[in-house]
A and B are shown apart, each in its own frame.
Chain A
Amino acid sequence: MAVTSPQIYAWLERYAGIVAEQKQYLTGLDAAIGDGDHGINMDRGFQTVLVKLAPVRDKDAGTLLKTTGMALVGSVGGAGGPLYGTFFLRAGAALDGKTEVSDRDLVGALEAGLKGVVERGKANPNDKTMVDALTPAIEQAKQALDNGAPLEQALTAAADAAEKGMKATIPLKALKGRASYLGDRSIGHQDPGATSSYLMLRALSDSLATLPQRATTTTT
Chain B
Amino acid sequence: MAQTTVTTRLKKLINTPETEVKDAMAGMAAAHADLIRVEYDPNVIIRKDAPRKGKVGLVSGGGSGHEPMHGGYVGLGMLDAACPGAVFTSPTPDQMARATAAVDGGAGVLHIVKNYTGDIMNFEMAAELARGEGAKVNAVITNDDVAVQDSLYTAGRRGVGVTVLLEKIVGGAAEAGADLDAVTALAKKVNANGRSMGMALTSCIVPAAGKVTFEIADDEMELGIGIHGEPGRERTKLKAADEIAEILTSTIVKDLPYKRGDEVLAFVNGMGGTPLIELYVIFNAVNRYLTGEGIKITRSLVGNYITSLEMAGCSVTLLKLDAETTKFWDAPVHTPALRWKV
Q: How many interface residues does B have (CB within 8 Å)?
A: 41
Provide the residues of chain B in CB contact with A77, threshold 8 Å.
63, 85-86, 89-92, 118, 122
Among residues of B, the one whose C-beta sits closest to the C-beta of A83 is B121
Assess whether B158 is interfacial by the CB under 8 Å rule.
yes
Provide the residues of chain A in CB contact with B174, threshold 8 Å.
none
Given A78-B89, A80-B118, A82-B125: A185 touches B231 (CB 8 Å cut-off):
yes
Per the 8 Å Cβ criterion, residues 118-160 of B in contact with A are 118, 121-122, 124-125, 147-150, 153-155, 158
Assess whether B250 is interfacial by the CB under 8 Å rule.
no
Provide the residues of chain A in CB contact with B122, threshold 8 Å.
77, 81-82
Provide the residues of chain B in CB contact with A76, threshold 8 Å.
89, 92
Interface centre among A40, A77, A83 (most CB of B within 10 A): A77
Contact B230 A181 (CB under 8 A): yes
Contact A37 B154 (CB under 8 A): no
CB distance from B133 to the nearest CB of A (A): 16
Contact B229 A36 (CB under 8 A): yes
Contact B209 A44 (CB under 8 A): no
Interface-located stretch among A57-65, A94-102, A172-180:
A172-180
Task: State the CA gap A121–B120 with chains docked (Å).
Answer: 10
Report which of B42, B92, B149, B230 forms a contact with A34, defined as CB distance below 8 A: B230
Contact A41 B86 (CB under 8 A): yes
Contact A178 B121 (CB under 8 A): no
Per the 8 Å Cβ criterion, residues 94-135 of B in contact with A are 94, 116-118, 121-122, 124-125
Contact B91 A32 (CB under 8 A): no
Interface centre among A41, A83, A120 (most CB of B within 10 A): A41
CB distance from A99 to the nearest CB of B (A): 29
Given A180-B153, A181-B230: A73 touches B1 (CB 8 Å cut-off):
no
Contact A178 B213 (CB under 8 A): no
Report which of B3, B87, B92, B155 forms a contact with A75, defined as CB distance below 8 A: B92
Among residues of B, the one whose C-beta sits closest to the C-beta of A77 is B89
Report which of A28, A175, A178, A183 forms a contact with B228, defined as CB distance below 8 A: A178
Is chain A's binding surface mostly helix, strand, loop or mixed? helix
Assess whether A79 is interfacial by the CB under 8 Å rule.
yes
Assess whether B299 is interfacial by the CB under 8 Å rule.
no
Provide the residues of chain A in CB contact with B33, threshold 8 Å.
none
Provide the residues of chain A in CB contact with B230, threshold 8 Å.
34-35, 178, 181-182
Among residues of B, the one whose C-beta sits closest to the C-beta of A43 is B208
Provide the residues of chain B in CB contact with A44, threshold 8 Å.
86
Provide the residues of chain A in CB contact with B229, threshold 8 Å.
35-36
Contact A183 B150 (CB under 8 A): yes
Assess whether A31 is interfacial by the CB under 8 Å rule.
yes
Q: How many interface residues does A have (CB within 8 Å)?
A: 34
Per the 8 Å Cβ criterion, residues 2-53 of A in contact with B are 27-28, 31-32, 34-37, 40-41, 44
Task: State the CA gap A174–B158 with chains docked (Å).
Answer: 15
CB distance from A190 to the nearest CB of B (A): 12
Provide the residues of chain A in CB contact with B149, threshold 8 Å.
183
Report which of A31, A75, A79, A183 forms a contact with B154, defined as CB distance below 8 A: A183
Given A37-B209, A77-B89: A32 touches B117 (CB 8 Å cut-off):
no
Assess whether A150 is interfacial by the CB under 8 Å rule.
no
CB distance from B107 to the nearest CB of A (A): 28
Provide the residues of chain A in CB contact with B150, threshold 8 Å.
183
Contact B214 A79 (CB under 8 A): no
Among residues of A, the one whose C-beta sits closest to the C-beta of B149 is A183
Among residues of B, the one whose C-beta sits closest to the C-beta of A70 is B94
Per-residue CB contact flags for chain B residues 68-94 toward chain A (1 = under 8 Å, else 0) read: 000000000000000001111111111
Assess whether A74 is interfacial by the CB under 8 Å rule.
yes
Contact B155 A181 (CB under 8 A): yes
Task: State the CA gap A83–B209 with chains docked (Å).
Answer: 22
Contact A28 B118 (CB under 8 A): no
Interface centre among B87, B121, B158 (most CB of A within 10 A): B121
Contact B117 A178 (CB under 8 A): yes
20 sample A-B contacts, Cβ–Cβ < 8 Å, listed by A number: A31-B213, A32-B3, A35-B206, A35-B213, A37-B88, A40-B208, A40-B209, A74-B93, A78-B85, A79-B116, A83-B121, A176-B117, A176-B155, A177-B155, A178-B117, A178-B155, A181-B147, A181-B154, A182-B230, A182-B231
B residues with CB within 8 A of A = 1, 3-4, 42, 63, 85-94, 116-118, 121-122, 124-125, 147-150, 153-155, 158, 206, 208-209, 213-214, 226, 228-231, 233
The 8 closest A-B pairs by CB, nearest first: A180-B154, A82-B121, A79-B118, A78-B118, A77-B89, A35-B228, A79-B117, A78-B89
In the complex, given contacts A76-B92, A82-B118, what are 16 additional A-B residue pairs having Cβ atoms less than 8 angstroms apart?
A27-B209, A31-B209, A36-B209, A37-B209, A73-B93, A73-B94, A76-B89, A77-B91, A78-B85, A82-B93, A82-B121, A82-B124, A83-B121, A181-B147, A181-B226, A182-B230
